[in-house]
Amino acid sequence: MAKQKKTLSVEVPLEEAYQWFSIIYPTNKKGRQEIEELLLIKGTLNPVPYAILDYILAPQAGKSTSVCKTIVIEQRYRDKDHSKALSSYYAKSFRQVETECTRLHFFARRLPLDFLDTKSTQELEHSYLGFCVLRPFTRRKIGRTVLRRLRYQPALEFPTCQGVFEINLAGHKLSFEGSAFIEQDTMVAACASAAIWTSTTIMGTRFGLQQRSTSEITQLATQYLIENRPMPSEGLITEQMLHCLRAMDYDPLLVGVTSQKQAKHDIYSYIESEIPPILLCEFPHTGEGHAIVGIGHGYQVPVTNPIKAVLEWPGEHPLEFTRSSEWVPSILVNDDQRGPYRKLTFIDSQTLPARISAIHPTVNMADLKLEEWRCPIAIDVNMPFSTYSGGEEIANIWGIIIPLPQGVLLTAVQAESKSARVIRWWHWRTGVSLPKDLVLRTYLVPSNEYKERAKASGMDSFVKSLLAGKPMPRWIWVTEISSLTSYNSSNPDDWLIQGQVIIDATSNAFTPDFLLFHYIIDSQAVLVTMRPEHKDAEQAFSRYWVSSSDSKYVGWIR
């Protein structure tokens, strides 16, 4: 008789409901210690985890308790960016890299332990602040992260570049607006790849454009222009960054920096257009390049003596006006080496040597060639709520990459010039004196969105109707016309505009054409439209609407 084989019985525990989910309350000491351990705060000099913790612990305006009341920990999370990095690089490593990540979810209200069953999707979405993926690394573990901006001064801070993101939390589909961030891992992605990922992820979710993982970005960038091995990544050169963006169906614009004033205005114009510019920097202590992403700007009032711009055209009278960027003291940036929502300020070149010496006392000033720095900046690295005192980092912006959507042929500078020319031409034609306090703000926007926004504005009803029914290209440049008095008001309700010029974003930079010109001045308003059959602007101005009942209205405020 054959002997029967014995089988060992291994008892496998039953899986429990939501066993991979847990909760931390960061408002108490125990909760803070737990989140610090998750972020590997202790013993690290890397400011990025501190920046995430600073976000979590930041209080609401006028209050002492943090905005974030609950952190939900989701274990065994399969992150799409990490999964693609595994297949392209980490799978080749002898030392096995874990495939699963941990995802943190932040909420602005205190949730009970059974919240996944007792709270509705609407309740969760209303208090959702964003998420942060923790990769299974011992360093540089902050992965794909999207956070709502906590606006400490709503009238003085504008995080304009935000995408619309959707996540699924145990069957709850949550949608929210936020800005993307990721930390470079130095293997699959260096700072340039992280910057491209940040900018295009925001653009992709905001406007339906293409977005890729960090590993795919590095592979696209190093497809042809190869200086070294694609992975492990040692960084990208400017040409590789531009090639990558073109491969992703963007039409990137590289802007050289000639002055601080020019750089600030260019950066601001595209941030106002919700297009996150990639800022190319150099640091004094390393001499190495770095890329960061602009995602918002500050606002200050009053500005008593703003610098005026003068635009001139051959054979025509010039136009003198103030650019709205004069009211912008700082830029919000996502910096993969310093964290999300860092404040960037423009500094006086005369103070450069002293400020650099205070941070890097061993740097030889003679080697820096500071006279070649066209746009010196300071990045704030202080995180007061996580008790990280990083001081400031000094750098120079030498270039700006704008990931323009395909089909946008005009730049911000060209669109502003065309709009200013229309305004100047109208004053010359009518003989009406130019206002001495003219302020212009120019931004790019999808035409259908602008029509929707116009319908909800205080714009004259006839102007709304005419604008809504006018055929337009997908993208338009809008130049709002305002005044110093309006811009210097501390009350957003008084930020009034007195019209706008709408320019076709696909038009020729050197022809004085426009789509619509609406202008309120001296108790009357004019409305001029240019149709395809018009040969030039003068023909369009031969007939137009005039109204005495039109009035100034609040411009676009985010």
412: alpha, beta or left, given left = phi > 0 and alpha = psi -120 to 50?
alpha
Per-residue pLDDT of 221-235, as tens digits, reads 887 766 655 544 566
Q: Rounded mean pLDDT of the chain?
A: 89
What is the Cα–Cα distance from 416 to 441, expressed in whole angstroms? 8
What is the Cα–Cα distance from 119 to 444, expressed in whole angstroms? 40
SS3 call for 247: helix
Q: pLDDT at residue 45 above 80? A: no
Do 436 and 321 touch, CB atoms closer than 8 A? Answer: no
Do 428 and 317 touch, CB atoms closer than 8 A? Answer: yes
Per-residue pLDDT of 343-397, as tens digits, reads 999 999 889 988 988 888 888 887 888 888 999 999 999 888 888 888 899 999 9
Geometric angle at alpha carbon 119, from 60 and 110, rounded to 5°:
30
SS3 call for 477: strand
Q: pLDDT at residue 557 above 50? A: yes
Per-residue pLDDT of 133-161, as tens digits, reads 998 877 778 999 999 987 666 668 899 99
Per-residue pLDDT of 105-134, as tens digits, reads 999 999 998 998 888 999 999 999 999 999
Per-residue pLDDT of 27-40, as tens digits, reads 999 999 999 889 87
Q: Nearest CA to 518 among 475, 448, 474, 461?
A: 461
Q: pLDDT at residue 454 above 90? A: yes
Q: Tokens representing 57?
A: 């612990």
Q: How confident is the model at residue 6 (pLDDT cuts 50, 70, 90)?
A: low
Do 274 and 392 touch, CB atoms closer than 8 A? Answer: no
What is the Cα–Cα distance from 318 to 309, expressed in whole angstroms? 10
H-only helix segments in 208-324 = 214-221, 238-247, 260-272
Helix (H) or strand (E) holding 400: strand 388-405
What is residue 46's predicted lDDT score, i.e. its pLDDT?
A: 84
What is residue 94's predicted lDDT score, i.e. its pLDDT?
A: 57
> Mean pLDDT over residues 530-538, rounded?
87
Q: pLDDT at residue 300 above 50? A: yes
Q: pLDDT at residue 293 above 50? A: yes
pTM of the model as a whole: 0.93
Do 214 and 189 touch, CB atoms closer than 8 A? Answer: yes
Of the listed ranges 8-17, 96-105, 244-253, 519-528, the least confidently predicted one is 8-17
Q: Tokens representing 208?
A: 């339906």
Look up residue 191 and give its DSSP letter: H
Look up residue 165 and give its DSSP letter: E
Percent of the chain, pLDDT > 70? Answer: 91
What is residue 232's predicted lDDT score, i.e. its pLDDT?
A: 47
Do 381 and 344 touch, CB atoms closer than 8 A? Answer: no
Most confident option among 58-67, 78-87, 469-478: 469-478
Q: Tokens representing 264?
A: 């600030």
What is residue 529's predicted lDDT score, i.e. its pLDDT?
A: 95
Geometric angle at alpha carbon 129, from 325 and 120, rounded to 5°:
140
Q: How confident is the model at residue 422 (pLDDT cuts 50, 70, 90)?
A: very high
What is the Cα–Cα distance from 519 to 87, expressed in whole angstroms? 57
Q: Nearest CA to 24 among 100, 101, 107?
A: 107
